Copies of this chain bind each other. A is one copy, B any other.
């Protein structure tokens, strides 16, 4: 199957589990934008067996908690869309009132002259530190 998320990790790997992986989404205006990608090709979240669905959601919740504690955003956005790549993945996005789209979703048109806010710049600057910390948190909970 010609699916980019079957053929590659889909971004810089932060953590790998037998059933899923967590990558840095590398969205230029959103440092700290994380993505959980299910390892096997499943289209819709509800199509996972119940136990795997629970595992998946527990991992998304860990990511949200990590983002809240570590980056102190004004809001976190969670979404699984997959219209372009219909292979189950969850977006976990720290949002700041002074980011490029707030309060609009990150998929709306960006504000004019959008750039990183100071708090986002800090996330970018400390990336190697929190990558390691997030990996440890995920390992502690999911092995």
Contact = CB atoms under 8 A, between A and B. Distances in A.
Interface of A: 43-46, 53-54, 57, 61, 64-65, 68, 75-84, 86, 95, 102-105, 107-109
Q: Report the copy number of this chain in the oligomer.
A: 2
A54 B53 contact: no
A53 B30 CA distance: 27
A105 B45 CA distance: 17
A105 B80 CA distance: 10
B79 A75 contact: no
A80 B77 contact: yes
B61 A81 contact: no
Given A53-B61, A54-B54, A102-B83, A45 B107 contact: no
